[in-house]
Structure 1
Amino acid sequence: MLDLAGYLDQPADGVTLVVLHKSGNRGKRVLDALKKGGARVIEARAVKTERDKHDFVTEEFRTARRKIAPDAVGALVLAVGKDLRELASACEQLIRDVDGLVETEDVTTYYGEKVETTGFRVAEAALTGDEAAAMALLRHAMLGGLDPVPIVAVLALQLRQVGKVATAGRGSSAQLARDLGMAPWQVDAARRTSQGWDGERLGAAIQAVARADVDVKGGLRTEAAVRSPEHAVERAVLTVCRLRNR
């Protein structure tokens, strides 16, 4: 910051200077000098939560004057949301390559081999009781060599979201999203899914997935773990489907 302060006294011609300040009081004098000198200030909030990532994707499309379906936003975040640069690049690719409204099918076309996207589709089928679709998706993923651990994690996340929304009472999607730390579309999806569940069956499903989580990570030498992690996740998905349809 001291070197930068000296540079500001005698700036070089034709140089564009980009300064990153991570908030706080450190370097505030130089920051104030930059502002006083007419520097352009762009506030970039940290993207930390899942809701932040959903908002980021939505804003990328809004800035490009394009539309993306809420479910597609969720699928994209699940697919590439671990790295913000990769998420931004994915938004750019879909905006460039897909005409009209970007939907979940478009995300699947480009990023369907991602483990998290596959887990999202498996969980969606399982929680609606579509056993045939859930098992077909899961077995295709297993044949492709995908790790069962994140698939179980996505299934657990979806079940928790249904439980949270089901017990949160009434209110607008926007209000519940703020209270629960979710995106509004996630609240709407969880509400639709929760209509086919009651507390007892949902609790049993959460316990089944928790057991599968231990098994696929090799935490306990249960029968499922001895057979294979793939068997453990298959059993969990079947259990969720059959509890939903009971």
Structure 2
Amino acid sequence: MAAASASRSRSGGSARSGGAKASIPQVSWRTPRPAPIVLVSGPEEVCAERAIGGVRDYLKTEDPALEISDIRADDYTSGTLLAVSAPSLFGEPRLVRVSGVEKCSDAFLAEALAYIEHPQDGATVVLRHTGATVRGKKLLDAIRSGVGGGVEVPCAAVKRDADRHDFAAGEFKAADRRIAPRALQALLSAFADDLTELAAACQQLISDVDGDITEEIVARYYGGRVETNAFAVADTAIAGRYGEALVGLRHALASGADPVPIVAAFAMKLRTMAKVAGSREPARALAARLGMKDWQVDRAKRDLVGWTQSSLGLAIQATARADAEVKGASRDPVFALERMIAVIATRRPFGE
């Protein structure tokens, strides 16, 4: 009970001074903390799971006798929230994890609104709302206004390359581990489409490897995956290694890769090269102006070695044609990919 009281004090209390609405603290999912009400919002499940797990670990450290209960807001039995959050005979702290608030029942919504007006002493209630619907908005608005003395843990979608880079880099920084820039890029390339797998790969390397994590270590662990990744195929083609790029393409397709994201990987790298081409600005200044990371600019400059404005334009045109063809303009998407790779890797029109 003392732990939860301390948590309530840390959250700033539940009172609203003079009736004015106060915004609640925003807490990083990497460093969550308990409060009477913890709203974990946003679509990124990996971050949400870390946040909820972090609150649990925090409370267990304060009191190993923590009682944990799970509730589904969409399949809710009236009275459950109050029952599981009520003080027990021996006064152990309670953690109540509520999932599916974005599709909550009317019964849950009514009881949750009543509960946050008078949270139970010694209880931490974690509400998970993905943001997929506006269901429960009245509850979210009340929590965000300060009712209940809560905190919010935003879990925004991690979709952009820069966001994925920051996520992976943060995994190693949080563990106080160093990873070489090229090793990090290889890891991102290997898990370009699945943040859950990327997070698991980062944690495996942190757990298994002593010392700094190098590109060779990443290749040893995930080399097979890197070889079949769309970005790896694009890298070899852009570097002019035609035969290797074709082998990588066929390996990727045999492993179940879809032609559309393969073309998208080529397009993204070529667009970055086009943005950087011809600029003499320092990498940091150019990255800031273009809204990119320093490493992306450095990589694009390395990729541009041997390219001219004419050959880059030809490659972009070939990629645009392949994009249309793999989306239905051609009956043979594999040939469209092979022709695109031929143009990019040889830097000449197809057939010359």
Task: Give TM-score, length-normalised by structure 2.
Answer: 0.56
Confirm or deny: 8 A CA contact 2:233 2:249 kept in the other structure.
Answer: yes
* Shift of residue 93, structure 1, vs aligned partner: 2.0
**Cα offset, 1:125, TM superposition:** 1.5
Q: Go from structure 1 to structure 2 and tell me whether the alpha carbon gap of 1:71 and 1:115 turns closer, same or farther (over 3 Å shift).
A: closer
Of 237, 240, 244 in structure 1, the residue corresponding to residue 341 of structure 2 is 237
Residue identity in the other structure for 1:64: A
The answer (yes or no) to whether the contact 1:156–1:206 under 8 Å persists in 2 is: yes
The answer to whether structure 1 residue 7 and structure 2 residue 120 are counterparts is no
**Mind listing any 5+ residue stretches in structure 2 that lack a counterpart?**
1-108, 132-136
Determine the structure 2 residue equivalent to 1:211: 321
Match of 2:74 in 1: none
Unaligned runs of 5+ in 1: none
In structure 1, the partner of 2:210 is 99
Which of 121, 144, 156 is 2:232 aligned to?
Answer: 121
Residues 146, 8 of structure 1: alpha-carbon distance in 2 compared, 3 angstrom cutoff = closer
- Per the TM alignment, residue 119 of structure 1 is displaced from its structure 2 partner at its CA by 1.7
Could you say which residue in structure 1 is the equivalent of 2:98? Answer: none
Q: Does 1:55 align with 2:166?
A: yes
1:2-41 correspondence runs (5 A): 3-4=111-112, 6-19=114-127, 27-33=140-146, 37=149
Secondary structure of 2:330 counterpart = coil
Residue type of the alignment partner of 2:323: D
Name the aligned partner's letter for residue 60 of structure 1.
Answer: E
Question: Is the alpha carbon distance of 1:147 and 1:111 closer, same or farther for their aligned partners in structure 2, counting shifts above 3 Å?
Answer: farther
Contact persistence 2:276–2:301 (CA under 8 A): yes
Describe the SS at the equivalent of 1:18.
strand
Deviations 1:168-209 (A, max 9, x none): x23232332233233221110111121311111111111122
Counterparts of 1:47 and 1:92 in 2: how far apart (Å)? 17
Given the superposition, is the C-alpha separation of residues 146 and 104 from structure 1 closer, same or farther in structure 2, using an over 3 Å criterion?
Answer: farther
Number of equivalences: 235
- Which structure shows the bigger proportion of residues in helix conformation? 1
Report Cα offsets for 1:84-131 as digits up to 9, x if no partner: 333322321222223333344444444455589622222112112122
- Shift of residue 60, structure 1, vs aligned partner: 1.2
| CA shift in 2, pair 1:102/1:243, >3 Å | same
Q: CA deviation at 1:9?
A: 4.8
Q: Does 1:173 align with 2:283?
A: yes
Q: Cα distance 1:238–1:27, how it changes in 2: closer, same or farther (>3 A)?
A: closer
Deviates more, 1:74-83 or 1:47-56: 74-83
Match of 1:87 in 2: 198
Larger Rg: 2
Q: Which structure's residues are more often strand, by fraction?
A: 2
SS in 2 for 1:16: strand
CA contact (8 A) 1:58 1:73 kept: yes
Cα distance in 2 for residues equivalent to 1:220 and 1:201: 24
Distance between the aligned counterparts of 1:73 and 1:116, measured in 2?
15
Query: What is the RMSD of the two structures over their aligned residues, measured on CA atoms?
Result: 3.3
Indicate conservation of the 8 Å contact 1:153/1:213, yes or no.
yes
Instruction: Give the equivalent residue in structure 2 for 1:157.
Output: 268
Task: Give the aligned partner of residue 185 of structure 1.
Answer: 295
CA distance in 1, matches of 2:188, 2:138: 34
After the TM superposition, which of the residue ranges 119-128 and 66-75 deviates more from structure 2? 66-75
Q: Which residue of the partner structure matches residue 200 of structure 1?
A: 310
Contact 1:50 1:182 in 2 (8 A): no
Contact 1:116 1:154 in 2 (8 A): no
Q: With structure 1 as the length reference, what TM-score do the two structures score?
A: 0.77
Contact 2:112 2:139 in 1 (8 A): no
- 2:49 aligns with none
Residues 177 and 187, structure 1, Cα contact 8 Å, conserved in 2? yes
